[in-house]
Structure 1
Amino acid sequence: MSHPVTCTIDLADGRGKQAGELKLPRGTGDGDTVAIPIVTVGNGDGPTVLVSAGTHGDEYEGQVAVLRLVAEIEPAQVSGRIIAIPVISTEASRANSRFWPSGANFNRSFPGRLDGPPDEVLAHFFTTVLFPQVEMIIEMHSGGNGALIVPCSHMCAVDDPVQRKAMLEGMEAWNTDVHFLYTPGDNFFPTIAQEQGKTIVTTELGGGGRVPAAMHELAWCGLTNVLRHFGVLEGEPVTRASLGLPPARIYDARGADELITTLGSGLLDQVRAPASGLLEGLVEPGEPVEQGQPIARIWAPDGPTRPPVEVPASRTGLLLGLRAIPVVEEGKGIAFVGEPITREALLAEVGA
């Protein structure tokens, strides 16, 4: 049975550079489709790596980096194959929106289904057609318009010791100062990929509505270095030691798992707003905090004489992310904190 999502290039052909589109039916019954650009760059023997960005339309750091990759990388530089989808959620990207026009959050659409809405049909294509063709995945995110997150690569703490070690080493190859651990919900893109045994590296490259030049450079240098680490792009990968940098710090944010799974809003759900109003941050992402320490306060425009409501840190560690938009609603996620963990402790959890 053919898949309703069609590809205008031959995904089985691992040679040369091909540029085309995934055509996703809108489900309107009139044959109208959404075009999603896809590029493959292949040459000889080696791994196949899927590189994707724009799962959320307003996260542009990865989109620009992957567009640059497919423009600049030539087959002679590759051993194996790169399958690149620079902007998955094309209409959301054009609209500067996290969500599809339907309101769908593509990162919550997995594993997808053939008889579902368009976002789930596309997720089914990823799950059943793209993922089985690759060994590694680089999936690039940031905080988008709504959150400022410490620039980092991060990972899910999978149970398989070999897979966990491979993902840890891939995450570290981004060479960011900070990494953190998270566990996604059952319907997340990374969950389905890692269940198929893939080595998946994900990122949170800042956010807050503007992309500084330094963040574009971090996205580019990290992406190309991880591809070198995977052995698909020519050149030796650099390490923090070779760059004269101290070891990266790893933080455990898995304490937010239950809230993420239940509320489905994202990592910021670890700390939720105790009141509605205007958020004033008291601590910047990347700064250490103590449990109970006020990290923000919320002012009430409709009660200007009332004192603000303080928002305490949920744990001792590093403030990893904070809501970027001051307007907040009671009960909505606004921040998350990670506790320090060593790479040795992370591997020892599964006997790696």
Structure 2
Amino acid sequence: MRVPVITGADAFSVRTAPSGSAAPATATTVAAVRTALPPHRYAQDDLTEPIGDLCLPPEADRAVLRRLHASAGVRTRHLALPIEQYAELGDFGQCNDAWMAAGLELAEEALTGALEEAGLEPADVDLLVCASITGIGAPSLDARLAGRVGLRPDIKRLPVFGLGCVAGAAGLSRVHDYLRGHPHDTAVLLTVELCSLTLQQGDDSPANLVAGALFGDGAAALVARGSGCGTGAANRPGRAGPSVVATCSRLYPDTEQLLGWDIGASGFRVVIDAGVPGIVRDHFGRHLRAFLAEHGLTVDDIETWMCHPGGPKVLSAVTDTLGLPDDALDSARRSLATVGNMSSVSVLHILQNTWQSLRPEPGAWGLLMAMGPGFCSELVLLRW
């Protein structure tokens, strides 16, 4: 049962799962995670001037732009289109058409790859949650994808728009909620973010320039199975993924203006307020510690930290407010450096890399966390 808990005038949270040191019988198992990246890969230095051409007037001083690109913590990024084609996108309709075309290709690659990794077929999927904040469509992307990959006609679908960067963590939380009530089902969380297609041409605002320096494109699919699914290919020794033990959702009142979109004739104009790291420092650590304490844990008990890479300042704020070692969020910094901030895709990319590279020991605790428009945060307590 999900129980809303009011925890003070400054927050509203939703928590799931009972406390305790072991994963509950209703735990969700992550069977596979797969990221798909567009083929157009660029070094950060090779994007600075073309993005300046798109966003700045010819006579503008580009010193600020160059400093932003140099300090973003990004070395390489993947774009949905070759960089020279962005100038040909004349309006929101053309950008959105490009989002649907490229998004379907990446979604199919991520979904089929994750199912193969889990040892499952498309017909095994009972629920598909599809999140994106960089494009829209009706029929939605997941509906158009279903026939391409062979999903069942009776599959349950939930397209989600508006969660933004938090959707990778929040989507996993909602999949977990579903599987607790349907323990014999298999669910897929699919996130598709083509952030480059939202870049506003002719817009030299600080927020647009920051977005042009920070964001990359990609898709990710996570396969999750309920507790009644038994063992399978994904549960062979050395392949077992983490279990979701508990989740926590939190909205921070009076912060709606910090992050999101201003949506107009030209499409999605990014809103990124400089106050975000301050909110993290003021509130995030206290709330995270309270969540862990409800499950008999402290910050020191968490062995793998998987944090959405909102940018260098946000990662520093998380490190500071939690009192973490300097290297605790290195997985997020590596993801940011190699692919940029991919919005909701990023935290799943980090989960995949953690699983494949670090290979946490059985029983190790992990925490997956992200923040997004609202302003909000999502915590997912995992046990390997």
TM superposition score normalised by structure 2: 0.26
**Whose RCO is larger (CA < 8 A, sep 6+)?**
2
TM superposition score normalised by structure 1: 0.28
Give the strand-richer structure, 1 or 2.
1
Give the helix-richer structure, 1 or 2.
2
